Amino acid sequence: MLFHFFNCNFPPSSLVGLFFPAVTGIMAGSNRSSSLRDTQRSIPVGTLSATLVTSCMYLISVIMFGAIATREKLLTDRLLSATVAWPFPSLIKIGIILSTMGAALQSLTGAPRLLAAIANDDILPILNYFKVADGSEPHVATLFTAFLCIGCVIIGNLDLITPTVTMFFLLCYSGVNLSCFLLDLLDAPSWRPRWKFHHWSLSLLGALLCVVIMFLISWSFTVVSLALASLIYKYVSIKGKAGDWGDGFKSAYFQLALRSLRSLGANQVHPKNWYPIPLVFCRPWGKLPENVPCHPKLADFANCMKKKGRGMTIFVSILDGDYHECAEDAKTACKQLSTYIEYKNCEGVAEIVVAPNMSVGFRGIVQTMGLGNLKPNIVVMRYPEIWRRENLTDIPATFVGIINDCIVANKAVVIVKGLDEWPNVYQKQYGTIDLYWIVRDGGLMLLLSQLLLTKESFESCKIQVFCIAEEEADAEGLKADVKKFLYDLRMQAEVFVITMKWDVQVDSGTPQDESLDAFTSANQRIVDYLTEMKARAEREGTSLMADGKPVVVNEKQVEKFLYTTLKLNSIILRYSRMAAVVLVSLPPPPLSHPAYFYMEYMDLLLENIPRILIVRGYRRDVVTLFT
């Protein structure tokens, strides 16, 4: 009967919540570690000694109270210690008042400083009102703490307050135990506990016990407390000042990343698991102001190459000069580029490479950037539209060298022309995304067009695929094959087959007027450049040289390249003048041709096309018929 009365009025879970604040001084030594001479010895010895002494005192008190009072007295007398006190009861009451005031004053002096310290560290931006200068008193934090304490006193019932305090302490202890468990389990090199009886299982057991006790006290309060703690952690990770506080989760992420990287292995990824990892070349042609780390639209375009913006992007820039002289400038530039990436909400990392020139720097980047299967597989850069206007004669050789390096390194290439007009998320595009599928590229152009459709800017567009056939008889068969291929890939697109001969002649009525004008100008510039090369070679008594290397110029082949690009440009202008974006295969630089000639071919191919992606895949598929 008495047990039933006890269980109904004071269940064990309530008693745990009421009694637990009496044993919360276990962190007192750690909180005063700055005042200890030898913290590594004093804290474990002092904490264990204090725990042993207080435990004995509590047990003795329980035994003595049980020996001198009846069960009814223990249940009804809220201040039994004063009732049985000697020589008079008021002595205990005075002691309770003095100890309570002492603890309150200690909390009123310590808690505001802790609150101000948290605010000064910018851990929680919402606490910025409590910041104080070094050496100043935290007056605002003290007032806040005082009002909080007064509110608890006004409640007038310690039985409501103590479970709340217990929850906070248990959350703190479970966090400490969980941190020790993670550090020990992950075996971080900096984790060297001096206490030789430490084991990760004890820390895990302690964390679980704290959570179990919380649920025993109040499961609803526990759920709310854990949710609140999770929200605070998420708020700190998003809004908190960037800083490394040495939390155990960073070590866990590091170990998880290492294991994931090892699991990926070095073998080629199957097409159904293929992800684009763009290597964005931020400042390739040096025509941005020095305080602009990257073209403002490059990050927008890089996000278009990833489904829902997810995936890794590497932003790189090359700083010309000597590494020993430019190391600090490179660090500053890397911070600026990282800030830009964060501002653009792009998942990526920034890298700055110091090299004697752009070609050497890019060659080092394309060989070494990345780890295992997390190496970048697509090089992204803008087209050097300004090379002739600015008379930058070194750009053709650099541009051709970069493309050749990508081909040798087996990297895909995406070159953007019209980057200044690339739409952002608020600029809706209508019309079509047109693909001119001339050579087999592993399906990269198809994949890029599908990724563009997932973006708000292009979601209202439709895809059109244009294929080139040399004979009318081949057109229908080619169209049927391409349609079947797209159907098997589960891609929606309209297919067109255009008949075009690759011989050196202009079909009647085919070229657009602007294409013919560009062709005539390009042809004249090539003739002038070739004449100058021949004159220089004759004057110096050497073979034909361009960009410091011997070249062999077949004038008929040059003429064929010019006519081919003229026809392609004319076809694109005829069918895709109003397209939202055009994708076309990137022709490889012809062997032994001067880089200047290749730039003329490219300029003629892209003439009067406002927004175009020039794409070159690599020797593997990036789309598959199998899910």
To 10 degrees, the CA torsion angle through 506, 508, 512, 513? 90
174 in the same domain as 91: yes
Measured from the Cβ of residue 115, the count of other Cβ atoms closer than 10 Å reads 20
Per mean pLDDT, which range of 309-313, 318-322, 425-429, 453-457 is the poorest? 309-313
Distance CA 422, CA 485 (A): 30
Alpha helices, H only, 294-346: 298-304, 323-343
Alpha helices, H only, 187-218: 200-217
Query: How confident is residue 129, by pLDDT bands cut at 50, 70 and 90?
Result: confident
pLDDT over 60 at 242, yes or no: no
CB 585 within 8 A of CB 615: yes
Query: How confident is residue 249, by pLDDT bands cut at 50, 70 and 90?
Result: low
Q: Mean pLDDT throughout 322-342?
A: 87
Which of 225-239, 287-301, 449-463 has the largest mean confidence?
A: 449-463
**pLDDT at res. 133:** 82
CB 285 within 8 A of CB 599: no
- Which residues form the domain of 506? 419-627
Domain termination residue (choose one: 382, 399, 417): 417
Structure confidence by residue, pLDDT tens digits, 556-589: 888 888 888 888 888 888 888 889 899 998 888 8
Q: What percent of the chain has pLDDT over 70?
A: 84
pLDDT over 90 at 205, yes or no: yes
**pLDDT at res. 333:** 85
In a domain, 305, yes or no: yes
Domain termination residue (choose one: 384, 417, 450): 417
pLDDT over 50 at 595, yes or no: yes
**pLDDT at res. 309:** 57
In a domain, 258, yes or no: no
356 in the same domain as 474: no
In a domain, 254, yes or no: no
Distance CA 157, CA 155 (A): 6
Question: 3-state secondary structure string, 88-110?
Answer: CCHHHHHHHHHHHHHHHHHHHHH
431 in the same domain as 412: no
436 in the same domain as 409: no
Structure confidence by residue, pLDDT tens digits, 371-405: 777 888 889 988 888 777 666 678 888 888 999 99
**pLDDT at res. 504:** 54
pLDDT over 80 at 240, yes or no: no
235 in the same domain as 174: yes
pLDDT over 70 at 512, yes or no: no
Q: Which residues contact 359 (CB under 8 A, 6 or more apart)?
A: 397, 398, 401, 402
Distance CA 124, CA 237 (A): 9
CA 104 to centroid of chain Cα atoms = 46
424 in the same domain as 280: no
Q: Mean pLDDT throughout 124-151?
A: 84
The residue among 6 and 389 whose pLDDT is bigger is 389
In a domain, 82, yes or no: yes
Distance CA 606, CA 493 (A): 23
622 in the same domain as 536: yes
pLDDT over 80 at 465, yes or no: yes
486 in the same domain as 384: no
In a domain, 245, yes or no: no
558 in the same domain as 439: yes
Give the pTM: 0.68
Q: Mean pLDDT throughout 176-191?
A: 80
In a domain, 118, yes or no: yes
pLDDT over 70 at 537, yes or no: yes
CATH of the domain at 297: 3.40.50.620
- pLDDT, mean over the chain: 80
Q: What percent of the chain has pLDDT over 90?
A: 4
Distance CA 174, CA 264 (A): 35
DSSP class of residue 454 equals: T
The position carrying tokens 């202008």 is 573
The residue among 627 and 230 whose pLDDT is bigger is 230
Q: Which residues contact 590 (CB under 8 A, 6 or more apart)?
A: 557, 561, 597, 598
pLDDT over 60 at 288, yes or no: no
Distance CA 2, CA 8 (A): 10
In a domain, 253, yes or no: no
Residue 380 has phi, psi (to 5 degrees) of: -115, 130
Distance CA 538, CA 339 (A): 54
To 10 degrees, the CA torsion angle through 79, 83, 85, 91? 70
Measured from the Cβ of residue 315, the count of other Cβ atoms closer than 10 Å reads 27
pLDDT over 80 at 101, yes or no: yes
522 in the same domain as 616: yes
Distance CA 388, CA 385 (A): 8
Distance CA 591, CA 144 (A): 76
- Of the candidates 535, 540, 595, 606, the one whose C-alpha atom is nearest the C-alpha of residue 568 is 606
In a domain, 260, yes or no: no
Q: Mean pLDDT throughout 202-217?
A: 89
Structure confidence by residue, pLDDT tens digits, 20-45: 766 777 777 776 666 678 887 888 88
**pLDDT at res. 1:** 47
- Number of domains the chain contains: 3
522 in the same domain as 499: yes
Domain termination residue (choose one: 417, 439, 462): 417
342 in the same domain as 232: no
Q: Are strands 432-437 and 462-469 parallel, antiparallel or unpaired?
A: parallel
**Helix, strand, coil abundance in the chain, percent, nearest 5:** 60, 10, 30
